[in-house]
């Protein structure tokens, strides 16, 4: 074949630079193959060759390309973070824009043509995306993965790769049959259908179509109308399914599962109160630093042994009545009566229809500060909490959390002790 290339080059008076031409062997390792000559000169064999910015490596895998993408993306993320630190307070959307415009493209360059069978998930890329997500949300790695993608409404990078590949597949099918890309694809498809164990691009497209319930398009080799919309919807659905499955077993996300049906950008993230929105993210994701959470990593000595503080001993330091969890902090603790009274006063003013419309806030005025444990345990208390954490109450709750936290820092134990609730 190289003789044909040589003949072609001579005909059109083109010179092939033998020094820059390299051979990469894609076949199985260990197979004997002879050296390749071009116009009498031997072409050097290399492990990896860069073409159009992609690293083609021997054996046909993409590990080296993946490594390069990761390095570039990590560097870009570090640069973006540095710029934000220097620039001061930046909105969540601004940070997200940095991620999507400057970092993520490094992780998706050329991915639509890669056949990554056997190493499909590319977990280290997901890890980096989650790291970026935590940075945007301002949380540490205690925040469960599903809360990150859930709050921001992100697809996994794997799902995005599936979508990019399927879009490209649609483009190929729309090409005339004599186009080279189409011809290469058709060859790949024939190989895949004749010998299903051969790993090639057609196989991965087929597999992905099957995984998201679109295999009939493969069988017909027809995308139908509005392919991108169809593919996108199917990819999202499949990703949501695995998102739900992932959160199912996590105790921290017990409430979150109720507050978040589907991944999607949360409106409160647009709040300019950086600390406040961060606390709301933490509260929703089950990692707000109330005693219930901090007790996990505090140790007490029991018979000379260091053990984590048992949950029932993770008392609220404001009132010492019970374990300080989110419900206690927001609705029960007598230590925050005043702050809470102000909050419900404002809420009643800002949402005049609320009291009439929702049983959840029946006692808004009378509560005005503290509601008893029985109220919180009741369906009304839970509905109130839902409204505060996931409904229109989010914005107000963000402010409340800021206030509570200020007082939480200041208030010392003896200030609450003699309080008498009547």
Question: What residues does 227 pair with on adjacent strands?
Answer: none
Q: Which of 319, 326, 331, 360 binds Zn ion (CB under 5 A)?
A: 319
Under the criterion CB under 5 A, does residue 223 sit at the interface with Zn ion?
Answer: no
Under the criterion CB under 5 A, does residue 318 sit at the interface with Zn ion?
Answer: yes
Q: What would the two tokens of residue 320 be? A: 């010492």
Using CB under 5 A as the binding criterion, the count of chain residues that bind Zn ion stands at 5
Determine contact, residues 72/110, Cβ cutoff 8 Å.
no
Determine contact, residues 162/235, Cβ cutoff 8 Å.
yes
Report the distance separating Cα 319 and Cα 200, nearest Å: 65
Closest to 55 measured CA to CA, from 44, 42, 71? 71
Using the rule CB under 5 A, give the single segment among 134-142, 240-248, 298-306, 309-317 that binds Zn ion: 309-317
The smaller minimum CB distance to Zn ion, of residues 70 and 321, is found at 321
Alpha helix (H) residue ranges in 122-261: 123-137, 145-152, 157-173, 180-194, 201-211, 215-220, 227-248, 254-259
Using the rule CB under 5 A, give the single segment among 57-65, 127-135, 312-320, 404-412 that binds Zn ion: 312-320
Q: Which of 107, 316, 360, 404 binds Zn ion (CB under 5 A)?
A: 316
The smaller minimum CB distance to Zn ion, of residues 146 and 324, is found at 324
Site string for Zn ion, 64-103 (x = CB under 5 A): ----------------------------------------
Under the criterion CB under 5 A, does residue 323 sit at the interface with Zn ion?
Answer: no
**No. of H helices and E strands in the chain?**
22, 6
SS3 assignment for 34-99? CCEEECCEEECECCEEEECCEEEEHHHCCHHHHHHHHHHHHHHHHHHHHHHHHHCCCCHHHHHHHH
The smaller minimum CB distance to Zn ion, of residues 76 and 316, is found at 316
Token pair 């995308």 in the structure block, residue: 223
Task: Provide, rounded to whole angstroms, the least separation between the CB of residue 313 and Zn ion.
Answer: 14
From residue 297, alpha-carbon distances to 105, 317, 319, 323 in Å are 38, 17, 21, 15
Using the rule CB under 5 A, give the single segment among 150-158, 215-223, 325-333, 352-360 that binds Zn ion: 325-333
The smaller minimum CB distance to Zn ion, of residues 161 and 340, is found at 340
The smaller minimum CB distance to Zn ion, of residues 148 and 283, is found at 283
Under the criterion CB under 5 A, does residue 333 sit at the interface with Zn ion?
Answer: yes
Task: Provide, rounded to whole angstroms, the least separation between the CB of residue 296 and Zn ion.
Answer: 18
Task: Provide, rounded to whole angstroms, the least separation between the CB of residue 291 and Zn ion.
Answer: 9
Using the rule CB under 5 A, give the single segment among 161-169, 275-283, 334-342, 366-374 that binds Zn ion: 334-342
Under the criterion CB under 5 A, does residue 331 sit at the interface with Zn ion?
Answer: no
Task: Provide, rounded to whole angstroms, the least separation between the CB of residue 360 and Zn ion.
Answer: 22
Question: What residues does 51 pair with on adjacent strands?
Answer: 54
Report the distance separating Cα 324 and Cα 326, nearest Å: 7
Q: How many residues does the chain have?
A: 422
**Residues in touch with Zn ion (CB under 5 A):** 316, 318-319, 333, 335
């Amino acid at each position: 074949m190289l003789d044909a290339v040589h003949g072609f080059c001579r005909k059109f008076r083109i010179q092939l630079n033998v020094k820059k031409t390299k051979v990469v062997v894609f076949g199985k390792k260990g197979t004997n193959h002879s050296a390749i000559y071009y116009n009498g000169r031997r072409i050097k064999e290399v492990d990896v060759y860069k073409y159009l910015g992609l690293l083609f490596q021997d054996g046909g895998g993409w590990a080296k390309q993946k490594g390069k993408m990761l390095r570039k993306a990590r560097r870009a993320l570090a640069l973006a973070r540095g710029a934000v630190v220097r620039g001061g307070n930046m909105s969540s959307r601004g940070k997200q824009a940095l991620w999507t415009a400057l970092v993520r493209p490094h992780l998706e360059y050329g991915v639509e043509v890669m056949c990554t069978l056997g190493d499909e998930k590319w977990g280290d890329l997901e890890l980096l995306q989650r790291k970026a997500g935590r940075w945007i949300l301002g949380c540490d790695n205690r925040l469960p993965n599903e809360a990150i993608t859930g709050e921001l409404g992100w697809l996994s990078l794997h799902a995005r790769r599936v979508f990019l590949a399927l879009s490209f597949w649609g483009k190929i099918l729309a090409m005339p049959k004599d186009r080279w890309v189409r011809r290469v694809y058709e060859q790949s498809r024939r190989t895949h259908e004749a010998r299903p164990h051969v790993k090639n691009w057609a196989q991965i497209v087929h597999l992905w179509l099957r995984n998201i319930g679109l295999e009939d398009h493969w069988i017909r080799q027809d995308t139908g109308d509005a392919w991108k919309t169809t593919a996108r919807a199917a990819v999202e659905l499949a990703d949501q399914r695995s998102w739900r499955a992932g959160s199912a077993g996590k105790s921290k996300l017990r409430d979150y599962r109720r507050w978040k049906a589907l991944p999607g950008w949360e409106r409160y993230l647009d709040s300019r109160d950086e600390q406040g929105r961060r606390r709301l993210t933490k509260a929703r994701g089950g990692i707000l630093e109330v005693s219930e959470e901090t007790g996990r990593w505090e140790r007490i000595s029991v018979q000379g042994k260091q053990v984590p503080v048992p949950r029932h001993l993770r008392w609220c330091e404001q009132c010492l009545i019970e374990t300080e969890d989110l419900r206690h902090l927001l609705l029960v603790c007598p230590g925050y009566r005043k702050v809470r009274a102000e909050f419900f006063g404002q809420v009643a003013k800002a949402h005049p229809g609320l009291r009439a419309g929702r049983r959840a806030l029946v006692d808004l005025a009378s509560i005005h500060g503290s509601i008893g444990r029985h109220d919180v345990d009741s369906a009304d208390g839970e509905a109130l909490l839902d409204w505060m954490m996931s409904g229109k109450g989010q914005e107000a709750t963000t402010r409340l959390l800021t206030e509570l936290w200020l007082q939480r820092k200041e208030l010392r134990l003896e200030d609450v002790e003699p309080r008498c609730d009547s």
